[in-house]
A and B are shown apart, each in its own frame.
Chain A
C-alpha cells in the first residue's frame, strides 16, 4: 500500500491523462451543441496539464509500482517529447475544413489520442517484460483503431487490416522471445535480467540469448518501422487519415526507440565491460548496423519513385528511422544523445511536412505530387513552410534537422575508423534523400500549372500552426545551450528495481 501511494505520487501525468480520457468519453455522450469544441479544449488542457506535471517531476530516478515502471531523466525526456507531439497533432490538425474527417465523431478521436498518449508514456517507462509487452500492445491496438477511423473508406480499413495482421505477428514473435528470456533468467524485471546476464552464461545459452534478442527486436522493429519489419508502413501511412499518419510517424516511433534504449541499455548490457557490451561476446552492434543501413537505403530508394505525398513521406520516415538507429549502433552516451536530438527535430519537421500535405488536401482534395505545380503562386506561405520542413528533413545546416544528423554522425565517427564506412553510407543516403525532397520543392516552385484553380484560402488558425511549426524548426538553434543541457541531463537510466 505504501509503495502504491508512493508511486501514485509520481504518476500524476498518467493519472491526469486517464481522467481526461474518461471525461472526454462522457462529454461525447451528451448530445449538446458545442461538445466538439468542449472536447477539443478538454483534450488540449489535459495534455498541457500532463506536460506541466511531467516537467515538475524534475530529475528523479526511482522505480514505480514494485519495479514495473522506471522513473528516470531519460524517461522524462521521452515523456515530454511524446506528450508534446500529441499536443501538436491535436492542435494543428483541425477537424474544421478537413476533407477526410468531415462529419466524423470528434470525441472518439480525442479519446483515442489520449489513450495512445497514455500508453506511449507507459512504453517509454516500462522496466519489466510484462509491462513492456502490455504497453507495446496498448499503443498498437489503439493505433489500429485510429488507422481505421474512416469507417466507410476502403483504403483506411484495408490499411488497418494490414497493420493489425503485421503487428500481431511481430509482437507475437516478440512475446515468444520474451517468454524464453524469462525462462533463461528467471525474472521478468529488466534490471534483474541484466544482473543474471552479467553473471555469465554458458556457451549454449549465449546463442539462445542472441536468438531471443532477434525475436524481441521484431517488436521494436515493427514499432519503429525498421527493415525488415517495415512492410506495413507505406500502406498504413497512405490509407490512414493524415492526422493519424502524422501522429504514427512521430510518437510511436519515438516510444519504440525509447524502449529499445531501455531494453538494450537497461536489460541486456553488462556492467563493467563497458556500459553497452551485450552479454559478453555477442556482437549486437553489427546486427543493428546492418538493420540501420538496410532501413535507410530501402526507405530512400523506394521514396525516389513515389508520387503520392503520404506514401513518399512514409518511405522518408522509414529512412529517418535508419538514421536514428545509428545512435543505437554507436552504443555510447553520445549515440543516445544523438537519438534524442534527432527525435526532437524530427517531431517538428515531419509534423510540419504532413500539415502542409493536409492543408493542400483540404483545399484541392489531392495527395498527388503531380497536382502540386503552381502552389508557390497560389499559397506562398505554405510553400515557404514546406521548403523549411523539407530542408530540415534533408539536414541542411541552419535548421534543426541538421543538428540531429550532426549528433548521430558524430557519435558514429568517434567510434573509430572501423565505423567510418557506416557514416559514409549514411552520408550517401542523405544525398539520395536530398534528391526526392528537392523534387517536391521543384514541383511546387518551378513547375507551371493549375493557374485556373480557385485561389487558395488558408484559415488564420492553420497559418498560425504552420508558423508555430516553422519556429519549432528554427528557434531551438538559438536556444541550443538549453537543448544541450537538457539532453545531457537526460542521459541517465534507472538501473535498480
Chain B
C-alpha cells in the first residue's frame, strides 16, 4: 500500500536531485530543469499532504498556483537565456563573468 511516507520520500529525492542539478550543471537550460524539479517536489508534497494528511483542498489549490508561477518563471528565464545567447553565443553559465569583484 502506497501512503504518505512514500510520497514524501519521493519528493525529498526530487528536491535533492533538483538542487544537485542546479549546483553542478554548466548549461543554463539544464539549471532551469533543476529548478523545475525543486518546484515539482514541493508540488508533490502539497498534493500528497492534501490527499493523505490534512483532509482539505488548500494544498491542491496551492499546487495549481505553483504550476502557473513555474511556467511564468521559466518563460522569463528562457527569454533572458536567449538574449544572452544572442550576445555571447554560449549558454554556459561559467562564461557569464563580466560582473565580479
- The 8 Å CB contact of A161, one of B28, B46, B56, is B28
Taking a contact as CB atoms under 8 Å apart, the answer to whether B19 and A169 are in contact is: yes
Given contacts A154-B88, A161-B84, A172-B18, is CB(A188)–CB(B62) below 8 Å? yes
Interface footprint category on B: 35 or more
Verify if A180 is at the interface (C-beta below 8 Å from B).
Answer: yes
Given contacts A164-B73, A164-B77, A186-B54, is CB(A157)–CB(B83) below 8 Å? yes
- The 8 Å CB contact of A165, one of B22, B87, B98, is B22
Verify if A168 is at the interface (C-beta below 8 Å from B).
Answer: yes
| Interfacial chain A residues near B48, Cβ < 8 Å | 183
Q: Which residue of B lies closest to A130 (CB)?
A: B62
Verify if A195 is at the interface (C-beta below 8 Å from B).
Answer: no
Q: How far is the CB of A182 from chain B (nearest CB, A)?
A: 6
Q: How far is the CB of A134 from chain B (nearest CB, A)?
A: 6
A102-122 contacts to B, CB under 8 A, are none
| Interfacial chain B residues near A154, Cβ < 8 Å | 84, 87-88, 98
- The 8 Å CB contact of B46, one of A145, A179, A239, A306, is A179
Verify if A176 is at the interface (C-beta below 8 Å from B).
Answer: yes
Taking a contact as CB atoms under 8 Å apart, the answer to whether B53 and A186 are in contact is: yes
Verify if B17 is at the interface (C-beta below 8 Å from A).
Answer: no
**Binding site secondary structure of chain B:** helix
Taking a contact as CB atoms under 8 Å apart, the answer to whether A161 and B42 are in contact is: no
Interface residues as binary, A234-267 with B (CB distance below 8 Å gives 1, 0 otherwise): 1100110000000000000000000000000000
Verify if B2 is at the interface (C-beta below 8 Å from A).
Answer: no
| Interfacial chain A residues near B98, Cβ < 8 Å | 154-155, 158, 239
Complex alpha-carbon distance, A141 and B22, angstroms: 19
Q: How far is the CB of B49 from chain A (nearest CB, A)?
A: 4
Q: How far is the CB of B95 from chain A (nearest CB, A)?
A: 10
Taking a contact as CB atoms under 8 Å apart, the answer to whether B54 and A182 are in contact is: yes
| Interfacial chain A residues near B88, Cβ < 8 Å | 154
Taking a contact as CB atoms under 8 Å apart, the answer to whether A130 and B83 are in contact is: no
Verify if A187 is at the interface (C-beta below 8 Å from B).
Answer: yes
- The 8 Å CB contact of B101, one of A152, A179, A311, is A311
| Interfacial chain B residues near A183, Cβ < 8 Å | 45, 48-49, 53-54, 59
| Interfacial chain B residues near A129, Cβ < 8 Å | 62
User: Could you tell me which B residues sit within 8 Å of A by CB distance?
Assistant: 15, 18-19, 22, 28, 31-32, 35, 38-39, 41-43, 45-46, 48-49, 53-56, 58-59, 61-62, 65-66, 69, 72-73, 76-77, 80-81, 83-84, 87-88, 93, 96, 98-101
Q: List 6 A-B contacts (CB under 8 A).
A: A148-B83, A161-B28, A178-B42, A178-B62, A182-B58, A186-B53
A-B pairs with lowest CB-CB distance, top 3: A172-B38, A183-B49, A186-B54
